Amino acid sequence: MSRRDQGSKGKPSGRGGNNVRKGSHARGNAPIKKDTSKLPISRENKGGVSKKKPGDGIRLNKYIANSGICSRREADTYIATGLVTVNGKIINEMGFQVKPTDEVKFDGRRINPEPVTHILLNKPKGVASTNSESKGLTVMDLIANATSAKVKPVGRLGRNATGLFLFTNDDVLINKIHKKGMSRLFHIELDKNLKGDDLQKIQEGFKIDGKEVTVEEIKYVDNAPKKEVGLRIKNMGNSIIRDIFEHLNYQVVRVDCVTLGPLTKKDLPRGRWRTLTAEEINLFSMA
């Protein structure tokens, strides 16, 4: 039932009815035409018709307000005084539309209208850590229902590697990791026992193709053959582990990331994800 029907109890409505508003004039059953001469004019377009198309984006003042900086009214003042840039350009235009791909900065700091989100995944084997559609199933597919925020993967893991994988839209954390790295502990299985001398070489560090390779720690796994080692490293690349061992004539059989910064795989089965708690996020800031 429509609102109009609900508002006219006991009166016939619809085609051919006599549902006439008070003060209006109608001849017979002729349809009543709505007077549009006094309709309010859109603020965005004085012509009365909004030019905004679906998917164009949102108004800049709303974008700023959604980021938690201030109210929309206050945002208009900040925009007018030149404190806001979009893609590096100062924007003073009221009603400017911001697209999802735009970089918006307030007083020199990038802002995001989405809540800061951190997702931890226990990556299974055979899943790529890239968004490329040509790679088949990706880690982004596994967390598709985790959040509406535009999170992105931090670091890389090979397709056949398993273990902890982080996603976030937290630019501060992402920049920190890119600059300083993030400690990750890997359980690695080789095709043969790792010699003590080679373990020492890895611990001391060496060069591959002229680039210094350093690790935080490497040890044999307790109660396991010496072809299984634990390697702690800050490098966030995808191939660094294979490069290290292939340089010493070993083949990597299995790689599993068991800790990521302060995070562990506890209560997180393979292929499952969870949202980080506020306490866990605070641990990153202290790392």
Is residue 233 over pLDDT 60?
Answer: yes
Percent of the chain whose pLDDT exceeds 90: 52
CATH domain 118-180+267-286 topology: Alpha-Beta Plaits (3.30.70)
228: helix, strand or coil: strand
CATH homologous superfamily of domain 58-110?
A: RNA-binding S4 domain (3.10.290.10)
- pLDDT score recorded for residue 287: 67
Q: What is the rounded distance in angstroms from the CA atom of residue 189 to the CA atom of residue 234?
A: 19
Q: What is the rounded distance in angstroms from the CA atom of residue 269 to the CA atom of residue 150?
A: 24
For CATH 3.30.2350.10, the residue range(s) in the chain are 184-260
For CATH 3.30.70.580, the residue range(s) in the chain are 118-180+267-286
Burial class (CB in 10 A: 0-12, 13-18, 19+), 123: buried
Burial class (CB in 10 A: 0-12, 13-18, 19+), 177: buried
Q: What is the rounded distance in angstroms from the CA atom of residue 46 to the CA atom of residue 115?
A: 34
Residue range 184-260 in CATH 3.30.2350.10: yes
Q: What is the rounded distance in angstroms from the CA atom of residue 115 to the CA atom of residue 233?
A: 30
Is residue 186 over pLDDT 90?
Answer: yes
Compute the average pLDDT of residues 137-150. 91
Task: Quickly state the pLDDT bin for 134 (edges 50, 70, 90).
Answer: low
Q: Check: CB of residue 49 under 8 Å from CB of residue 36.
A: no
Q: Which of 34-43, 172-181, 190-199, 250-259 has the lowest mean pLDDT?
A: 34-43
Compute the average pLDDT of residues 124-136. 78
